[in-house]
Amino acid sequence: MPELIVAAGYTLRMAVLAYGLGLVAGLLVALGEMSRRRWLSRACRVYIEFIRGTPTLTQLFLIYFGLPSVGIVLPSFAAAVVALGLHYAAYMAEIYRAGIAAVDQGQGEAASAIGMSRAEAMRHIVLPQAIRIIVPPLANNAVALLKDTSVASLIAAPELMMRADDITSEFYMPMQVYCLAGVMYFIMAFPLSLGARWLERAMARSRIRARRA
């Protein structure tokens, strides 16, 4: 069904944009949580706990239905991208934080001893090493985010599940249509899953070689 193929492309576009937002926002939240400014660290912690403690759908509805009450109106596509991006930013922030914490603290101290600022040490020394730790779980988040785009159907974003609902309502073929939608999600998600597993193995081998060196 060509409508589902078009909707699958829409779903992929939504997932890519939301993932990009999550990567950037997650890094900023992680750095904020690790900041020496107590108010900033606490604010980021509250954000993470709120996002992790509330349903994705609630966050989506807050953005799509709640923001218009304060004069901010987003189309369904943009609302879904923002909601999913900010939702996954909280989980990515924890991944970033764990990866940064796993880097030997002495390296940051050595960078400080040679005159680097904390930001320079983070950018040039700590983050490049943390990447080997954080990439595999970040890749797994991409798979989860792709599947979670289905919640956008509830705010009339014309992604894969909404088109499947429309076709089912028109032709009443729920078994065939939803099976086809499931297969299309699998076709999109399975390569990501394979890539995440490959990255995990590659990064593990890289860490082993680094320890032996």
Per-residue pLDDT tens over the stretch 155-185: 988 888 888 888 888 888 889 999 999 999 9
CA distance 147 to 192: 11
**What value does the mean pLDDT take over residues 95-119?**
74
Signed CA dihedral, 170, 176, 182, 183: sign only: negative
Residue found under tokens 């990064």: 203
Amino acid at 208: I
Q: Which domains does the chain have, with CATH numbers?
A: 2-212 (1.10.3720.10)
Query: CA 10, 13, 14, 18: dihedral to nearest 10 degrees?
Result: 180
**pLDDT (0 to 100) of residue 207:** 64
Are the beta carbons of 41 and 30 closer than 8 angstroms?
Answer: no
The pLDDT value given to residue 56: 94
Q: Which residue has the higher pLDDT, 211 or 30?
A: 30
- What is d(CA 148, CA 26) in angstroms, rounded to the nearest whole number? 18
The per-residue pLDDT for 99 is: 87
- Between helix 127-148 and helix 174-212 the angle, nearest 10°, is 170
CA–CA gap between residue 87 and residue 79 (Å, rounded): 12
Please, what is the average pLDDT of the chain? 87
Q: Give backbone dihedrals phi and psi of 55, rounded to 5 degrees, phi first.
A: -65, 150
Bigger pLDDT: 118 vs 22: 22
How far apart CA 95 and CA 188 sit, in angstroms, is 24
The b/e string for 155-191 (b: 16+ C-beta within 10 A; e otherwise) is bebbbbbbbbbbbbeeeeeeeebeebbeebbeebbee
Residue 179's pLDDT is what? 92
* pLDDT of the residue at 157: 86
Q: Which residues contact 133 (CB under 8 A, 6 or more apart)?
A: 98, 99, 102, 203, 207
